[in-house]
Amino acid sequence: MRLKFYHTALLLVFIQMVGYGQQKKVIFKEDSLKFYGNQIVNAEFPEQRFRADSQFTRILVRALQIQHSFHFPFDSLTTISRLYSPDSSFRIFTWQVSKDENTHRRHGAIQMNTEDGSLKLFPLIDRNILIQNQQDTITNNYWWMGAIYYKVLMQEVNQNKIYTLLGYDEHNRNSTRKVIEILTFNREGQPIFGSPLFVFSNDSIKKPVQARFFLEYKKNINASIKYDDELAMIIYDHLISESNEEKKFETYVPDGDYEAFKWINGKWLHIEKPFDFKLEDGQAPIIKPVTDSKIPVKKPVKKGN
């Protein structure tokens, strides 16, 4: 109900800001986008899906070029993800086109909320298969890890806003992944993906700090990553290998237990037993706040042929 009210409010804002002619243009483009969006998912042959994806991308950019389009919710586009940040400073579109059960390509864009309603858009280029050390690599929008996002959280450290994205990735024919991704914007306003904010200092077995977090599990098995408002934690399924093959993620399934991350002292602190968790004095990690100037952007190393 709250989400529907928010989208209605956005539509009213859009109607107030633009003329009738502009409204008709966006609505007309939304109808085309809906058609091609459905084709991306449901067309029988790969070439049809990729052709629909190309048409969808071109029409979406044209629609977003209409002044104040940021406030138009595109509610009928049910085959793609459309998420506004909690502070309404940007929204992020993500979707997927599949060649076959083993080859999936993610697409996306970040639209910024500009004062004059003009378009400021960052394309998201999926380089997933080229990025090594995926838990640690910090990238930009041209070296995007690729995911379909379903939740945006926001924290603030020393007046720097840190956005946490929850998403999923079809990955391959054997396993599916879900991801917790960090999005920040540097001093030039450019998007940065990944940041060393996932710490495991309270775990019984210590692990290195990570720039993002993946949950990989057996295909066609449901494993969740969700944010719990009441606990103020990201809760996710604890996984085990059903065949005791710890290196084979395609064997991992939920065992009924849970793990979590809690935002403490400017980091996501891993909690092994979230429903038994109690932070004692001195347990919280003492961490210097992350600032834009301290977030490097390094070009990922390409895999060999």
Mean pLDDT to the nearest integer, 113-133: 95
* Residue boundaries of the structural domains of the chain: 1-125, 133-299
CA distance 143 to 146: 9
What's residue 8's pLDDT?
A: 59
Q: Output b/e per residue, 266-294; b: 16+ Cβ within 10 A.
A: bbbbbbbebeeeeeeeeeeeebeebeeee
Judged against a pLDDT cut of 70, whether residue 24 lies above it is answered with no
- Can you give the pTM of this predicted structure? 0.84
What's residue 302's pLDDT?
A: 42
Beta-carbon contacts of residue 272 (< 8 Å; ≥ 6 apart) = 202, 203, 204, 259
Distance of CA 57 to the CA centre of its chain: 18
**Phi and psi angles of residue 210, each rounded to the nearest 5 degrees, phi first:** -120, 150
Judged against a pLDDT cut of 80, whether residue 16 lies above it is answered with no
CA distance 219 to 136: 24
CA distance 268 to 198: 5
Asked if 227 and 234 touch (Cβ cutoff 8 Å), the reply is yes
The average confidence (pLDDT) of the chain is 87
Radius of gyration of the chain (CA): 20
Q: What is the pLDDT of residues 241-267, one digit of tens each?
A: 999 999 999 999 999 999 999 999 999
Q: Which two tokens stand for residue 118?
A: 């003009």
The secondary structure of residue 13, as a DSSP letter, is: H
Mean pLDDT to the nearest integer, 12-34: 70
